[in-house]
Amino acid sequence: MTYDDFRAGELQGWDARAEAYDTATARATAQAIPDLLAAVRLAPGMRVLDVCCGPGYAAGAAAALGAETRGIDFAPGMVRQARARFPGLAFDEGDAEHLAFQDASFDAVLCNFGLFHVTAPGRAMSEAFRVLRPGGRYAFSQWCTPEENPVHRLTLGIVRRVADMSIAPPAPDAFTLSDRDTAHGMMVKAGFADIALREVPILLRAPAEGFFDFMMRFGVRIPLILDRQTEMVRAAIHEALDHEAQAFRAGDEIRLPMPAFVVSGQKEGPLP
């Protein structure tokens, strides 16, 4: 099975969402950055690569703490946003599965909610391992499974109930890495040691009205599924999501826990 349509949809989808990223996705993803930086034991002067950087928040936070950073993302719109937001920091178009850097060129590699968007996450982990110097650390963040995660339980629950999933573009399972043992096993396979996992209790705060529209801006995978559905199915999902989100209303916001975790590991070996 090939995931070509999925990959093209991801690239186009994130590119189109780059300008509005702050108003939706970043409200949740930015909350994991302190844990990501702690997991790589960030210190001033470290050379840090932010993979799937989006508008560059993890690189920006690491640079603010004195790191020397680079960021890569395959969506040109994201790279433009990152450069505009953090002038003076280095951001380039690039593919997480084929990093355009020499072996052992970074002290730390970060990937904030990017790995499950990549077609071959194992390959992206191996690339992170390759570009790390011995003793360097890698950290990535990942959403918990829909069973543990009210945002995904609500949204995917409705989509899976109402949509015809047989016509959705084939896509790698977004929650493979949410299984903590699988994530650990993949890190070991990529070569990492001293693997650690820390839970990150994210809270999503969305506008109380228009939760469906918010979620369409928030991510790319559900819009890719809905693109292929009939108008009637899309309308039914729209109505159900706006309605069911009201159970989580607090004043003028929808507040939903969106738990995640950060996995990190070290490239062992003799220091250069």
Ligand X SMILES: C[S@@+](CC[C@H](N)C(=O)[O-])C[C@H]1O[C@@H](n2cnc3c(N)ncnc32)[C@H](O)[C@@H]1O
CB 213 within 8 A of CB 237: no
Instruction: Confirm or reject binding of residue 97 to ligand X (CB under 6 A).
Output: yes
Q: Write the interaction track for ligand X spanning residues 103-122; mark x where CB under 6 A is met and - where it is not.
A: ---------xxx--xx----
Question: Which of 55, 94, 97 has the alpha carbon at shortest distance from 78?
Answer: 55
Any residues with CB less than 8 A from the CB of 79 and at least 6 apart, and which?
Answer: 53, 71, 72, 73, 91, 92, 93
Interaction of residue 58 with ligand X, rule CB under 6 A = yes
Q: What is the DSSP annotation of 225-242?
A: HHHTS-HHHHHHHHHHHH
CA 156 to chain centre: 17
- One of 48, 49, 78, 154 touching ligand X (CB under 6 A): 78
229 binds ligand X (CB under 6 A): no
C-alpha–C-alpha distance, residues 98 and 94, integer Å: 8
Minimum CB distance to ligand X smaller for 169 or for 269? 169
Q: Is 191 in the site for ligand X (CB under 6 A)?
A: no
Return the closest-CA partner of residue 227 out of 152, 169, 171: 169
Contact segment (CB under 6 A) with ligand X among 40-48, 53-61, 174-182, 192-200 equals 53-61
- State the nearest-atom distance from the C-beta of 113 to ligand X, in Å: 4
Sole binder of ligand X in the list 42, 47, 48, 54 (CB under 6 A): 54
**List of residues contacting ligand X (CB under 6 A):** 10, 14, 25-26, 29, 52-54, 57-58, 73-75, 78, 95-97, 112-114, 117-118
